[in-house]
Chain A
């Protein structure tokens, strides 16, 4: 019992890091994903090709490798001391984790948003055009709200995957929940901490599901 309590308090701090990493990744990757979708559909072949290549790399290589590259890259490629890349008290490894997750998830979100945008009937654009809406009004008032509803189930999938993927940050030694769980587990030579961590992840995703279902329900007032 005492063991469990100490595990819970130790995992608690790691869990906080996990939540922060999760939230920051969403905050950056969703708007970035919209840009990726736009770039992927660009009429400019250079922009389109570059974005396509970026998506291909992000989806085609392991996220763990990408994290390692973002973290160690500045040193091995440019000889920059990683210590110097931190912002104030924040260690660069935490920043690298947020960057790595964000650019990876932006690629996936980008493709989801693109599928949503391209599934919109042409008639919606035409109706908006003849009513005199500008391009940005059409996008933000007519298209995007409907796209959000369409992509919500796919986005929920990604968000749930992200909760679990945050554990990959242990590869660059970010002290998030999974890293802590592994340390405790090694010190106590017991898997209890890993089980508790698993329960935390599940609980987290359970809440994510409830929230996403709530949003979906809120948007079900129309078809």
Chain B
């Protein structure tokens, strides 16, 4: 069963066509890594799926909720009310963390639970404690983001994305802002989520991580999916010449 369905996604910035008809389905429990050179459209694709960019043409669904469909060759988005529902179906982990600096770690995680999902504070706190202990950060619940390391901030970012119990989590280069040591810690957290069969889409430059953790790898360049396949096979035996060339750089 598909959790995420993206069909024939087209997106241009002005005259620059960034996505030229992308199809991407992600099944429940599947981990998909998107790799490829910068400017190839990976992040834009993720941003379209997470409502941060609007597409020109195509269809996006998470579960039964349709974000956008195409009528007469033009993208038609769902209502505002539906958009709110749609946003509760997924979580997004940013490259730059984007934590709320004026909130404690706890409030970063519970704010949406309490004020968007209308959960009682006690329940939100419980969810927060569970997630923080899973991240090994329970002792930092009352700290502020500015007092945390990059790795710790990203853990909070992941906890925040997980808090609303989404059906799928998107990661936009979650370790690009971290040094190698901290990167390992974050990758471990993602690996654990994969073992728990969390559905995930990860844009990453960490090839060995993608090979080990992802079920499937998608190689994107120039706004199209050049090649995709089972993770190990694609990394070890790429068929397309461009994929080979790209992977040779790692």
Contacts and interface: CB of A to CB of B under 8 A. Distances in A.
A126 B160 CA distance: 14
Nearest to A145: B102
Interface string B108-148: 00011001110000000000000000000000000011100
Interface stretch (B6-14, B83-91, B221-229): B83-91
Interface residues of B, number: 26
Nearest to A130: B92
B112 A129 contact: no
A131 B164 contact: yes
Interface centre among A123, A130, A137, A146 (most CB of B within 10 A): A130
A123 B98 contact: yes
Interface string A192-222: 0000000000000000000000000000011
A19 interface: no
Interface string A122-149: 0110111111111001000110011001
Contact of B98 (A127, A132, A146, A223): A127
Interface in A93-150: 121, 123-124, 126-134, 137, 141-142, 145-146, 149
A146 B102 CA distance: 7
Contacts of B92: 127, 130
Looking at chain A's contact residues, the main secondary structure is helix
A126 B116 contact: no
Considering the complex of A and B, which 3 residue pairs feature the smallest CB-CB distances, nearest first? A123-B98, A127-B98, A131-B112
B94 interface: yes
A221 B144 contact: yes
Given A132-B117, A146-B102, A222-B144, 14 more contacts: A123-B94, A127-B92, A127-B98, A127-B99, A129-B51, A130-B50, A130-B51, A130-B92, A131-B112, A131-B116, A132-B88, A141-B111, A145-B102, A223-B146
B102 A129 contact: no
27 contacts: A123-B98, A126-B52, A126-B94, A127-B92, A127-B99, A128-B100, A129-B52, A130-B50, A130-B51, A130-B90, A131-B112, A131-B116, A131-B160, A132-B84, A132-B112, A132-B116, A132-B164, A133-B115, A137-B115, A141-B111, A142-B100, A146-B102, A149-B102, A222-B101, A222-B102, A222-B146, A223-B146
Nearest to A137: B115
Interface of A: 121, 123-124, 126-134, 137, 141-142, 145-146, 149, 221-223
Contacts of B88: 132
Contacts of A223: 101, 146
B21 interface: no
Contacts of B112: 131-133
Given A129-B87, A130-B50, A137 B102 contact: no
A141 B111 CA distance: 9
A123 B153 CA distance: 14
Interface centre among B51, B92, B101 (most CB of A within 10 A): B101
B96 interface: yes
Contacts of B144: 221-222
A123 B97 CA distance: 8
A53 B4 CA distance: 49
B116 A130 contact: no
Interface centre among A131, A132, A137 (most CB of B within 10 A): A131
Contacts of B51: 129-130
B126 to A, nearest CB: 19
B205 to A, nearest CB: 20
Interface string B42-84: 0000000011100000000000000000000000000000001
Interface string B143-180: 01110000000000000100010000000000000000
Contacts of A128: 100
Nearest to B97: A123
Nearest to A142: B100
Contacts of A222: 101-102, 144-146
B145 to A, nearest CB: 7
Given A131-B116, A132-B87, A137-B116, A146 B50 contact: no
Contacts of B160: 131
Contacts of A134: 84
Contacts of B116: 131-133, 137
Nearest to A126: B52
A209 B52 CA distance: 42
